[in-house]
Chain A
Amino acid sequence: MEVLGLKKVSKTYRNGTVAVQEADLRIHEGQFVSFVGPSGCGKSTIFRMSAGLSSPTSGEIEILGGTPEQARRSNSISCVFQEATLLPWVSVRDNIALPLQLRKQPRKQQLEEAERVLQLVGLQDYAKALPRELSGGMKMRVSIARALVAKPRILFMDEPFGALDEITRQTLQEELLTIWQQTERMTILFVTHNAFEAVYLSNRIMVMTPRPGRISAEIPIDIPYPRGERFREHPDFSRYVSLVNESLRH
């Protein structure tokens, strides 16, 4: 089933910047799709439009058989931004429960759900901590937990690990894959600069060209999950990475 389709989508910002030009895209349910491309090529713009946070200048976006607006109304999409974007004045647990709180779910249910995803991201001991008591990697985990608590069908992640060191980044990649596999049929769309990250995580990579932003190549990564840390040393891995880097250069 197709969950996201872009047809000739273009976006021109008010200052005249053509951020995306005639992007075509079809993404199927349950995929892990990464978008790679140089800075400023319009990755975030495509994400914001697909999540309904801004609208395209022309073209059509269909998400879960409707408009981004409808998808948002039916609580089917979640986002993880580059920064953790937490409320500094409430605890980790309340930050995570926020989507449910805004839906006015009963408090008890909110807490149970928050507890469940806290365990998924391994932060059960920090439920009562405030965001400023956490490290960057832990904040990002909270942000991911908050996105998961909403039980989205599509999860948008815009360079979520961009600000983290390599070790933390790899741990979180591993955790993300585990969570994704436990969650049935959740589709993940993931933006990154990093070819290694894209190859390790996804089963499909979209390579984008800089201004005007276009999708220039599509690389399927046909390696079954769970891939495990060993995959990073596998010859296939480096082959894919050089393939991605090559497409980026064109």
Chain B
Amino acid sequence: MSALRSGSLSRLLPPIAAFVLIVGLWQLIVSQAGIPAYLLPKPSDIVEAVGSNWRSLLGSVYTTTLETILGFLFSVIGGVLGAILLASSKMIERSIYPYAIILQTIPIVAVAPIIVIWFDAGLRSIVIIAFLIGFCPMLSNTLIGLNSTDQNLKNLFHLYNASKWQTMWKLRIPAALPYIVGGLKISCSLCVIGAIVGEYVAGVGGGQGGLGYAITYAAMRIQTPYLFACGLMASLLGIAFYQLVSFLSRKLLGSWHESELRTDID
């Protein structure tokens, strides 16, 4: 146990040391060179900005989190259901999938204003924009998973007279789980980006606006330290969300799939 702890400590130490060193250097150089805070704030300026605005910062984090989660949930539900629909008939897949690919290549920033025109500024539009970004990888990953079922297993199901739905539920969907989980991991990071981009375009998404809104606002008023604080929060949110989804994925996959098995277990 203590060996394990010292092992993880020795793995954690170098990045922590690097972090302290870089932040220290940053503080030192900026204050020595006398660079003004609105150009490049010192780490201490950023901490101060967080301290004096923590209420609105937390509010923004909350709003963006809400938008991200909603967009992500819709992406997952839409992507998985859509892929099951496409995979259940070659005809449907052949006629619709090309458009799904095209949808994926449209830059979201180009579509966002239209979304705002159709659905008004605010939470609804932001969630839709996050959904549009997260949906495509969910759909294509799930579809690839559903279509890459082992041929022998498919033969086996055929031989034992499995219906189309039995094959889907008992074979294709469980076999696609690792692909679906891959999709979840891509999609969750994209949804954070989607929510922030959505806020750039669609403004206040409830409460007093999310991180994206706070960033545009702070940029306009050249509150650079607060801008940095918001950016920092956005990355932390992205990381936290990714970790959460990874954790849930591991639970979802349970114990059977190799990719989720740690190599040191035997």
The reply to whether chain A is a binding partner of chain B is yes
In the docked arrangement, what's the CA distance between A53 and B159, Å? 7
Which partner residue on chain B sits nearest A73 by CB separation? B161
Pairwise interchain contact B162-A130, C-beta atoms closer than 8 A: no
Interface digits, A146-169 against B, CB 8 Å rule (1 contact, 0 not)? Answer: 000010000000000000000000
Pairwise interchain contact B160-A99, C-beta atoms closer than 8 A: yes
Which partner residue on chain A sits nearest B167 by CB separation? A102
In the docked arrangement, what's the CA distance between A75 and B171, Å? 20
Given A83-B152, A85-B153, decide whether A51 and B256 contact each other with a Cβ distance below 8 A: no
Quote the shortest CB–CB distance from B35 to chain A (angstroms). 57
- The main secondary structure of chain B at its interface with chain A is helix
Q: Which residues of B contact A98 (CB under 8 A)?
A: 156, 160, 170
Interface digits, A70-98 against B, CB 8 Å rule (1 contact, 0 not)? Answer: 00110101110101010111000000001
Given A89-B174, A89-B254, A102-B166, decide whether A78 and B153 contact each other with a Cβ distance below 8 A: no
Quote the shortest CB–CB distance from A151 to chain B (angstroms). 12
Does residue B94 face the partner (Cβ distance < 8 Å to A)?
Answer: no
Quote the shortest CB–CB distance from B130 to chain A (angstroms). 31
Q: Which residues of A contact B177 (CB under 8 A)?
A: 89
In the docked arrangement, what's the CA distance between A72 and B159, Å? 6
Pairwise interchain contact A87-B174, C-beta atoms closer than 8 A: yes
Does residue A103 face the partner (Cβ distance < 8 Å to B)?
Answer: yes
Pairwise interchain contact A85-B162, C-beta atoms closer than 8 A: no
Which partner residue on chain A sits nearest B158 by CB separation? A53
Quote the shortest CB–CB distance from B258 to chain A (angstroms). 8
Does residue B155 face the partner (Cβ distance < 8 Å to A)?
Answer: yes
Pairwise interchain contact A79-B256, C-beta atoms closer than 8 A: no
Which partner residue on chain A sits nearest B157 by CB separation? A102
Pairwise interchain contact A79-B254, C-beta atoms closer than 8 A: no
Pairwise interchain contact A78-B159, C-beta atoms closer than 8 A: yes
Closest 8 CB pairs of A and B: A89-B256, A99-B160, A85-B152, A102-B162, A102-B160, A88-B256, A89-B174, A53-B155
Given contacts A53-B159, A81-B156, A102-B160, could you give 18 more A-B pairs where the C-beta distance is less than 8 Å?
A53-B158, A72-B158, A72-B159, A72-B161, A75-B161, A85-B152, A85-B153, A87-B153, A87-B174, A88-B256, A89-B177, A89-B254, A98-B160, A98-B170, A102-B157, A102-B162, A130-B255, A132-B258
